[in-house]
Amino acid sequence: MESKITSREYIKPSSPTPAHLRTYKLSMIDQTCAPHFIPILLLFPPRPDNDRHRTTEQLKYSLSIILTRFYPFAGRANQDNHSVDCSDAGVDFTVAEFPGHLHDVINSSQDLLLHLFPMKLDFEYVKAQSGVVFVQVNYFECGAIAVATLASHQVADLTTMVNFLKAWAGTNRGSKQEVCPNYISQILFPHKNELLGQKVSNSGSTTGKWGMRRYVFDSIAISSLKAKTGLKNPTRVEAVSAFLWKCFMEASLKNGKSDSVIVWPVNLRRRAQPPLGMDVFGNCTASTTASCRNDDGGVYKDLARKLRESVARIDGEYVTRMQGDGGFLGYQVNMQSVVADLSGGADPLLWSSWCNIGIYDIDFGWGKPVWVTTAFDHSRSEYANLIILLDTSAGDGIEACVCLGEKYMQVFDAIDELRDLEPSPLDVGSLMN
């Protein structure tokens, strides 16, 4: 089942971007991000009012209004000088019709999800794109709608994209609240010419066949994991992360690796002193690591403790070191432990938590999404061992999207505790009634 493209155009800001904002220089943190895109897929339930033309026109109109505030998204990236030409060229906006039903997608393989996105997710293909944000609106036979977005990670992080989607959705449903991003990151972490011409590696990437699975932890499973962490007031993310790291260690060990290292981004907005607002535009994260010998991976409490300690290293002093004219030197100091862990031969597992950022609060006027997820193109040969954690629609569970090399996945997916987990993120039967 493939979607049929019915229209494609560029949505420009409703008013032109002022001349003094024409060139948007990436912040130092933006400059250190790999040139890939963040795929977000929002699936909304069937609606009794299914006027596709009116819905599309309203979405385009509200998007044009929001782009006056998120103006870099309507520009074109210049990777050579790490900037965005805010020329108001527009956001690539595609409309498609999908012959199936919402439950077909939820029960589907990863391949079907890829048809809902506006372009291929192949790394080399994406790297050649100058557009910053791409959108595809998919209409299903049953009246459901899927909104898929791709955003350049060199311009925005997940928090910025969720803020953008909330602002767009609010405007679309008629909210009078004006949401405007804060562009202070360019001042706090100013652009560094010394980073120009340096290639940012796609950390942990390798080549070969790989596979992707989803595992859903409900509130009961998470409570059980929390009780085993030994931490005071463990979070959902800590409990599930430590467990999945333990599972990865088993797969890594059986693939000939003696050590493993988990690499994950931490949001700097709340860790700065004083804290930065969540409305700060751009990338405002830093990577941290935790490592362990794979044959010691059975000690679940140690893994949970290591994860908490790795996040605690990123404090107010850590953020301050990266600010101002000397920020690049501070960045290099901060990255020493990460570089040491990654250069020691340990098996890297990239990690990202999409939990607790209100992604299920995005409401375009049709109600909140029944499922929010991401996608991976496993037709390409390049991959990185990667796990992304997302909230479930109920808010008390976690959906884990696991992307591993084929040989790793064979071991990982055979672990008894994982085989007992529900693979579907929600009750499909309820969508069919």
9-29 pLDDT per residue, tens: 999 999 999 999 999 999 999
Pairing of strands 37-44, 371-373: antiparallel
Lowest mean pLDDT among 4-8, 117-121, 285-289: 117-121
CATH number of the domain bearing residue 240:
3.30.559.10
18/143 same-domain check: yes
Residues 355, 391: contact at Cβ < 8 Å?
yes
253/393 same-domain check: yes
pLDDT at 429 (0 to 100): 40
Per the structure, the count of domains in the chain is 2
Is 368 inside a domain boundary? Answer: no
175/211 same-domain check: no
102/236 same-domain check: no
pLDDT at 343 (0 to 100): 86
What domain range is 324 assigned to? Answer: 206-361+376-431
Catalytic residue among 85, 104, 279, 363: 363
Query: CA triplet 235, 152, 115: central angle to 5 degrees?
Result: 90
**What predicted TM-score, i.e. pTM, was given to this entire model?**
0.94
What's the rounded Cα separation, in Å, for the pair 318 and 325?
Answer: 15
Q: Which candidate, 131, 208, 202, 165, places its Cα nearest to that of 62?
A: 165
Last residue in a domain, options 150, 167, 195:
195
Distant-in-sequence, close-in-space partners of 272: CB < 8 Å, separation ≥ 6 = 316, 319, 320
173/60 same-domain check: yes
Catalytic residue among 82, 101, 103, 153: 153
Is 200 inside a domain boundary? Answer: no
211/188 same-domain check: no
What confidence category does residue 432 fall into, taking pLDDT thresholds of 50, 70 and 90?
A: very low
- The question of whether 153 is a catalytic residue gets the answer yes
Dump pLDDT digits (tens) for 336-369: 989 998 888 899 999 999 999 999 999 999 999 9
47/75 same-domain check: yes
67 has a pLDDT exceeding 70: yes
Last residue in a domain, options 195, 216, 243:
195
H or E stretch at 152: strand 145-152
Dump pLDDT digits (tens) for 107-138: 766 678 888 999 877 656 666 678 999 999 99
Q: Strands, E, within 220-336: which ranges?
A: 259-267, 285-293
Distant-in-sequence, close-in-space partners of 427: CB < 8 Å, separation ≥ 6 = none
Is 228 inside a domain boundary? Answer: yes
- The question of whether 363 is a catalytic residue gets the answer yes
Q: pLDDT above 70 covers what percent of the chain?
A: 91
What's the rounded Cα separation, in Å, for the pair 126 and 134?
Answer: 11
Q: 120 or 259, which is more confident?
A: 259
The gap from C-alpha 307 to its chain's centroid, in whole angstroms, comes to 20
131/279 same-domain check: no
Is 99 inside a domain boundary? Answer: yes
293/153 same-domain check: no
